[in-house]
Amino acid sequence: MTNQQQCLEFWQARHSIILSTVDLKGVSETSITPFIADDSGNLYILISELAQHTQNILHLLSELPRGLEQVDNAMCISGLVVADEPELEQLFARERLTLQLSPSEIYRESERFSVLVMQFEQKFGEVIPLLASLPDFHLIQLKIIKGGYVKGFGQAFTFEGCPCQGLEPVQRK
């Protein structure tokens, strides 16, 4: 199996992402949330305003200049997708994907919102229509700008855009 195939297999088996966002005072917040992904590698999260990461993302989006749909690289949030501990042979060589993400909101009035909510329901069950109907929940698209894949000791790669595509080995400096 190629590195790309292993990366894709790892990516497709994951259902949650650890997010790192920053609040108005510059304090970082780390959290975790379930996600779905499309064929282009975009992630979608359904998150509540009661969560600090949601407040941080919504604030970031409110800072966008008029007419822009996505934040630039300087305003990205970070994501981490990791192998579960019971799967590990060596904790120090945990398989993982690191992601730089550009958020944008999918508004509930759009047809796309309905389609994505159905996909969430197929993956996560009957609680999703209830969550999606609550006014404090937001559907956020996270576009992958770039990332890294660590397969194990001495096996680190970078990519741009769609996860696991065009993997380039990390070189020592």
What's the pLDDT tens digit per position in 105-139? 999 999 999 999 999 999 999 999 999 999 999 99
Number of domain units in the chain? 1
The whole-model pTM stands at 0.90
pLDDT bucket at 88, cuts 50 / 70 / 90: confident
- CATH code of the domain containing 40: 2.30.110.10
pLDDT of residue 90: 80
Taking the C-alpha atoms of residue 153 and residue 162, their distance in angstroms, rounded to an integer, is 23
Q: Tell me the one-letter amino acid at 34.
A: P
Cβ-count burial 125-136 (b if 16+ within 10 Å, e if not): eeebeebbeeee
What's the half-sphere exposure (Cβ side, CA atoms, 13 Å) at 93? 9
Cβ-count burial 64-80 (b if 16+ within 10 Å, e if not): eeeeeebbeeeebbbbb
DSSP 100-167: EEEEEEE-TTSHHHHHHHHHHHHHH-THHHHHHHSTTEEEEEEEEEEEEEEEETTEEEEEESSTTTT-
Task: Tell me the per-residue pLDDT of 20-79, one tens digit each, with 9 for 90 and over.
Answer: 999 889 899 999 999 999 988 899 999 999 999 999 999 988 876 655 555 555 568 999
Taking the C-alpha atoms of residue 84 and residue 34, their distance in angstroms, rounded to an integer, is 14
pLDDT of residue 157: 94
- The continuous run of DSSP H or E covering 90 comes out as none
pLDDT of residue 38: 92
pLDDT of residue 91: 82
Which residues form the domain of 141?
3-169
